Amino acid sequence: MTEKCDLYTIMKKKKIIFLAGFFILLFVGFYFTLVRIIPGFGEPELPVISYVPAFSFSDQEGQPVTNKDVEGKVYVAEYFFTTCRGICPKLNTNLKDVAHDFAGESDFRILSYTVDPETDSVGRMKVYADSLGADAKKWFFLTGRKDSLYHLARSGYQLDDPKNNATNINEQFLHTQFLALVDKGGRVRKIYDGLKKDELADLEKDIRTLLKEKATAPRFANGLFNNNPG
């Protein structure tokens, strides 16, 4: 009798273990199915840092580029200057690799803003862009008014302290190695160090994630642009 009870207990435990294992495998399979069919499922969502306000500048072809041209697009924004011999060449070499990796993505762009518009004319930006082999339809080198460029960098892309806008514009010079990743709705989602390989790898991964997201309408409040994500 005792042997029968022990055998029954062993069989019951084996059944429980089998069923537990079956349901665990079922759950894991279901989870990975969702990961494959639902973009971004299982990954932490990138937070919204800020909203990019309306802007208008000239690209390397002398054509106007505005926020309307990147609505529904995922893009990376950077600030540089063509005469830079420090971080800018390395930064743009890294962005060239990013441009190459996403060359087949119709909804991806790169916006490179000058911090020295007095030097970086449309013609000069054209020479610089051509030296990188940049596709003028997908990688825009933008120039315009210095105050507008700097205000956008600080209040829109969060690439510098917005308090610096209060100083005399003629005495300012913005120099940064950071990149802003913007989603299809014109929202800054993350900032990256463009000189670090691990952060560039994260950038490319996050670009792929945002490309899968559905486009969201740019945020307005009472008809005026609201840059507060809260």
Q: 5: annotated binding-site residue?
A: no
> Which tens digits make up the pLDDT trace of 63-115?
999 999 999 999 999 999 999 999 999 999 999 999 999 999 999 999 999 99
pLDDT category of residue 35 using cuts at 50, 70 and 90: very low
Q: 175: annotated binding-site residue?
A: yes
* Phi, psi of 169, rounded to the nearest 5 degrees: -60, -30
Arithmetic mean of pLDDT, 30-53: 67
